[in-house]
Structure 1
Amino acid sequence: MSKQKGFTLIELVVVIVILGILAVTAAPKFLNLQNDARNASLQGLKGAIQGAASIVYGKAAIDGVESADADAGKKVEGIDVVYGYPKATSAALGLAVNGLSEDWSCKNITDSTPPSVQCTFKGKTAFFESGDSCYVQYEQATSSAAAITKVIASGASCK
């Protein structure tokens, strides 16, 4: 008589239970892709704005308007500039950054010093669930500082 070799039903069930426990504990680490994608998009927009602002500054330097203040009303290729950088308006940034108005929603913040623009995902407000804020902020250049672009991503839905 030959003896059959193989796994019993109980052994198979135990293995399946162990795999299920591992899946439940490991899956959340891999399922946070939406927040990672959101944060990567914000970082990408920050880089696009910084790159566009640097190009505008270079063109302003060539035209000799890199020291003009906000009251001078200078333009570089139709873009309003302040100290050589794009003015902090959604219109000026829209001209400087290709596709900004198609994919992003920007609003002017005029009550801040220096003036700034906040851009977030099109069709969304800058605030997500439970007051989390996710946006890119562009601050206008001043006589003593270049334009600043930063990502504001506070809260669990942004990180």
Structure 2
Amino acid sequence: MKRQGGFTLIELVVVIVILGILAVTAAPRFLNLQNDARESTLQGLKGAIDGAAGITYGKAAINGLEAANAADAKTVDGIDIIFGYPAATSAALNAAVNGMNDWKFVSEGNGAIVYTYEGNSKTSECIITYTQAASISQAASTLFTTGDACTGTK
């Protein structure tokens, strides 16, 4: 009669204990990936806004509208522009930037518009501010993160 091969109960317990130790040491490293994901989401939107502003300026320059100020009220591809860059309004940024669905409009005025991430309960700690061009200078977007709303730290 042929003897069946297999693992003993002690061998199986040893393997399970080793896997448990590995899981305990590796889990904190993987849990910190949430912080990186939140930060990357913010950086991604900032990059999208900056990229859309640059593309809009390029289209405005091709059409000779890069010097148009707020009083001129010009548009490029349905985007209101000021000095060639998108105006700081929710309509202009939504037309210029794809993927604003996860971001909640907070306020606009004085040449700036503020968005916050929809999933956060602490909206004042996780915001993106876009400031329209004040002259023939480049528009700017600013990333503002504090506390645990964006970084995930406690």
1:145 pairs with one of 113, 137, 142: 137
2:115 counterpart of 1:119: yes
Matches within 5 A, 1:1-159: 16=17, 20=21, 24=24, 27-100=27-100, 102-111=101-110, 115-122=111-118, 124=120, 127=122, 133-143=125-135, 145-159=137-151
**4+ residue segments displaced more than 3 Å:** 22-27
Q: TM-score of the superposition, structure 1-length normalised?
A: 0.73
Matched residues, percent identical? Answer: 50
TM-score (norm 2): 0.75
* Residue ranges of structure 2 left out of the alignment (5+ in a row): 1-9
User: What is the one-letter code of the residue matched to 1:109?
Assistant: E
Cα distance 1:123–1:27, how it changes in 2: closer, same or farther (>3 A)? closer
Cα RMSD (Å): 2.9
Aligned equivalents of 2:25 and 2:94: distance in 1? Answer: 44
C-alpha separation in 2, matches of 1:123 and 1:153: 14
Aligned residues: 142
| Structure 1 unaligned blocks of 5 or more | 1-8
